Amino acid sequence: KQEVTQIPAALSVPEGENLVLNCSFTDSAIYNLQWFRQDPGKGLTSLLLIQSSQREQTSGRLNASLDKSSGRSTLYIAASQPGDSATYLCAVIVSSGNTGKLIFGQGTTLQVKP
């Protein structure tokens, strides 16, 4: 059974710092991996999608990497800002068929202090 774990559970950094959020999964047979942002009481905003054949994806100050063989992904946030404060969720897509369901980690709650 696929399990997704995110470390750390919470992180507090001063504004301007670069930081790395970690995600690990137990079964390397994934289809894709997607990072989301969730603000308190709100929905999920997609940040980056990494196809299983890719090693990384970049969007602005965000860079996500994927190492399927070791069951790991990282989300790198450069020059953090207070507006980056949110919970970041990692999720793996476990099949390519008519389901393609997501299995989520528990998230890393980030606080960026001005």
Chain residues that interact with another protein, rule: CB under 8 A? 32, 34, 36, 41-46, 49, 51, 89, 91, 97-107
Nearest to 56 by CA among 41, 43, 45, 72: 72
Q: How far is CA 97 from the centre of its chain?
A: 23
Smallest distance from another protein to CB 75, Å: 14
Closest CB to another protein among residues 47, 80: 47
Smallest distance from another protein to CB 44, Å: 4
DSSP helix/strand/coil, 49: strand
Contact 35, 75 (CB under 8 A): yes
Smallest distance from another protein to CB 84, Å: 19
Closest CB to another protein among residues 76, 104: 104
Closest CB to another protein among residues 11, 44: 44
Closest CB to another protein among residues 14, 97: 97
Quote the DSSP letter at residue 52.
T
Using the structure block, give the residue that is written with the tokens 């997609």: 46
Identify residue 82 by its one-letter amino acid code. Answer: P
Q: What is the dihedral of CA 48, 41, 86, 74, to 10 degrees?
A: -40
Smallest distance from another protein to CB 10, Å: 13
